[in-house]
Amino acid sequence: MPHITVDHSASLTASFDRPGFARALHPLLTEVAGAAVGDCKTRFRSVDETFVGDGDPGHAVIHVEVALKRGRTEEVKAEVAQAVLTLLRKHVGTGPDVTAHASVEVRDLEDAYRKHVGA
């Protein structure tokens, strides 16, 4: 915990500094949500096909989901969402012909969540 999943249009792959985003994201989650940096896990998934509005190919999508253990207030989750969105915009570049639709969702992990680290 936390588990972070980043889905993005394949068209953003070259202009999205994924390692830089993750390196900045993990300490941010420590500061805002009280998570431990060593517990942060981020995975990136490039999506071959995304469709926005009328299908104009000049649109790209990037969505970040942050899953945290229960216990954070709605205010803290909203602060995390805004901070992640701000950080994301610093690490995604687009050209003049691309409109990036960026979003962040912060959710609670279910009570049945379990983890194991090791062999």
Whole-model pTM? 0.91
Q: What is the pLDDT of residue 115?
A: 80
| CA 56 vs CA 23, 25, 52, 79: distances in Å | 33, 31, 7, 32
Reduced DSSP (H G I as helix, E B as strand, rest coil) percent helix, strand, coil of the chain, to 5: 35, 30, 35
Superfamily designation of domain 3-108: Macrophage Migration Inhibitory Factor (3.30.429.10)
pLDDT in tens, 27-56: 999 999 998 899 999 999 999 999 999 888
Q: What is the pLDDT of residue 74?
A: 95
**Band (102; pLDDT cuts 50, 70, 90):** very high
Question: Domain-by-domain residue ranges, the chain?
Answer: 3-108
**DSSP-derived secondary structure letter, 93:** -
Interior angle at CA 63, CA 60 and CA 75, nearest 5: 140
pLDDT in tens, 61-92: 999 999 998 999 999 999 999 999 999 999 99
